[in-house]
Amino acid sequence: MNLPNMLEAKKRSKNKVNYEYFNLDYSDKFKDKKYYIRTYGCQMNVHDSEEIKALLERIGFSETNTMEESDLVILNTCAVRENAHDKVFGFLGRCKHLKKEKKDLIICLCGCMAQEESVVNEVLNKHKYIDIVFGTHNINELPNMLLEKIDKLNINVKSIEGDVIEVGNLYKRDSKTSAWVNIMYGCDKFCTYCIVPYTRGKQRSRKSIDIINEVKYLKENGYKEITLLGQNVNAYGKDIENEINFSELLESVAKIGIERIRFVTSHPWDFTDEMIDIIAKYDNTMPYIHLPLQSGSDRILKLMGRRYTTEEYIKLYNKIKEKINNVAVTTDIIVGFPNETEEDFESTLNVVNTCKYDGAFTFIYSPRIGTPAASMEDKISLKEKEERLQRLNEIVNKYSLENNQKLIGSIQKVLLTDISEKDSKKLCGYTENMKLVNVECDKNLIGTIQNVEIIDAKSFSLDGIIE
């Protein structure tokens, strides 16, 4: 049995949601089979895993949290930094070991790393126990690949991304309260250090009508919060003729009336005044912006291909802070880009001291094969880069703590989503401006928004009690 070719399916469905694709019956083949999935990397990958889970369950699999119990292990991988590669191949060692005891175990590698030619070669040469490899452009072909697997390695990675195909709301969402909603795939920015435009392909926006319908569906099904997802959400719609822009999309989604709307990630380059006004205008567009800086040195920003100066960035930052009430801003920073001098690094510290971020994800630059930066000469030692990272983190953590301490005694609206990881007697959730709060309260409050009084603050979380 074969799945219909997806492009033909798209023609038939004339851009409508293609449910037909899922009416095929695999239930006998995979009935009673279990899958175990491990996800590395960004929210995009987490959401892709939700799609993979839904596909597998449609064809008869059920999920297990114990790898030893599974018939299929899926590793959904990230390629942004080298250490992600090491972690995945470290874990594959465990899978190989398990396969010695369980001969029929199917091992599957997918996601961004699977789009890297060097990784595919590594699998072919060194990791022959892996059964299936598929990339970010052909998740929907997984059921077919499972059927076709007859004791041979099945590599199916597409270098060219297809059109966006709507397959309905087919995700096994991890949460019943907060949902990821893809608004676009890929990225056209080609920052010189970044592998994403190569692994995830060119920017492809979903149609606004499909996004709006998905958000309506989520609201009707009790979701309180949605996060619009894209590598560069502000550029939404620019790749489709006659499509609305991101501000218009945000406004349309806000009008649906779901309680909380968030979005990640923004690029400072495409961030418009109109966007700031919409976030300020609607109560349900949350006052939280993740605004990656990457470097505070204009020389390095230019080498990174970021297309803004620190002056432009700070101007945008100030506008956001002035216009959006209570807004929190976080960022991403890379230290040790090729030949970053002490002076360049200190410029980054200066911007951090100006913006006093609520939080920052900080990384040591990691050369990725095939990106322009990977062939730049670099004389800075790893030790020096590690020292810089430590200096940066100390400053970043100091501001996170200071910003959090300012909230002690205030009442914050918290959407309680989970049992706290730190203390199983508590629930945890996020304030409107994305601060994690641990709250001692009744477990029945999961999925509700509560007024919480903040009683203590640390760099990465707050403690609170129900008002």
The residues that touch ligand 5AD, with contacts defined as CB under 6 A, are 80-81, 193-194, 292, 294, 332, 334, 363, 365-366, 368
CB of 171 to ligand 5AD, least distance (A): 22
- Give the residue with the Cβ less far from ligand 5AD, 45 or 450: 45
- Give the residue with the Cβ less far from ligand 5AD, 223 or 357: 357
Q: Give the up-direction half-sphere exposure of residue 30: CA atoms within 13 A in the CB hemisphere.
A: 25
x/- letters, 193..222, toward ligand SF4 (CB under 6 A): -x-xx-------------------------
Q: Per CB under 6 A, does 238 bind ligand SF4?
A: no
- Give the residue with the Cβ less far from ligand 5AD, 81 or 260: 81
Q: Per CB under 6 A, does 170 bind ligand SF4?
A: no
C-beta of residue 173 within 8 angstroms of C-beta of residue 50: yes
C-beta of residue 226 within 8 angstroms of C-beta of residue 220: no
334: partner contacted, choices ligand 5AD, ligand SF4, none (Cβ within 5-8 A by kind): ligand 5AD
Tell me which residues in 6-25 interact with ligand SF4 (CB under 6 A).
none
Exposure pattern of 57-80 as b/e (b: 16+ CB <10 Å)? ebbbbeebeebeebbbbbbbbbbb
Distance CA 434, CA 54 (A): 28
CB of 331 to ligand SF4, least distance (A): 12
Selected range binding ligand SF4 among 37-45, 183-191, 376-384, 391-399, rule: CB under 6 A = 183-191
Tell me which residues in 244-273 interact with ligand SF4 (CB under 6 A).
267
Distance CA 219, CA 89 (A): 40
Beginning with the edge strand found earlier in the chain, give each strand of the sheet holding 288-290 in spatial order: 288-290, 328-335, 359-364
> DSSP for 256-300?
HT-SEEEEE---GGG--HHHHHHHHH-TTB-SEEE---B-S-HHH
Q: Among 77, 232, 297, 412, indicate the residue that binds ligand SF4 (CB under 6 A).
A: 232
Q: Per CB under 6 A, does 187 bind ligand SF4?
A: yes
143: partner contacted, choices ligand SF4, ligand 5AD, none (Cβ within 5-8 A by kind): none
Whole-number CA gyration radius for the chain: 23
Distance CA 89, CA 74 (A): 13
**Residues contacting 180, CB < 8 A, separation 6+:** 43, 46, 47, 50, 173, 226, 227, 229
- Give the residue with the Cβ less far from ligand 5AD, 143 or 296: 296
Distance CA 368, CA 383 (A): 19
In the complex, residue closest to ligand 5AD by CB? 332
427: partner contacted, choices ligand SF4, ligand 5AD, none (Cβ within 5-8 A by kind): none
C-beta of residue 252 within 8 angstroms of C-beta of residue 260: no
- Most distant CA pair in the chain: distance in Å? 64
Tell me which residues in 293-312 interact with ligand SF4 (CB under 6 A).
none
CB of 153 to ligand 5AD, least distance (A): 29
Q: Per CB under 6 A, does 229 bind ligand SF4?
A: no
- Give the residue with the Cβ less far from ligand SF4, 282 or 363: 363
- Give the residue with the Cβ less far from ligand 5AD, 84 or 110: 84
- Give the residue with the Cβ less far from ligand 5AD, 36 or 193: 193
- Give the residue with the Cβ less far from ligand 5AD, 344 or 432: 344
Identity at 91, one-letter amino acid code: F
What separation in angstroms does the CA of 348 have from each of 75, 343, 410?
Answer: 35, 9, 32
Distance CA 290, CA 301 (A): 18
Distance CA 77, CA 98 (A): 20
Q: Among 7, 163, 190, 273, indicate the residue that binds ligand SF4 (CB under 6 A).
A: 190
197: partner contacted, choices ligand 5AD, ligand SF4, none (Cβ within 5-8 A by kind): ligand SF4
Selected range binding ligand SF4 among 88-96, 188-196, 345-353, 429-437, rule: CB under 6 A = 188-196
x/- letters, 357..396, toward ligand SF4 (CB under 6 A): ----------------------------------------
- Give the residue with the Cβ less far from ligand SF4, 351 or 441: 351
Nearest to 225 by CA among 53, 416, 412, 460: 416
Residues that bind ligand SF4 (CB under 6 A): 187, 189-191, 194, 196-197, 231-232, 267
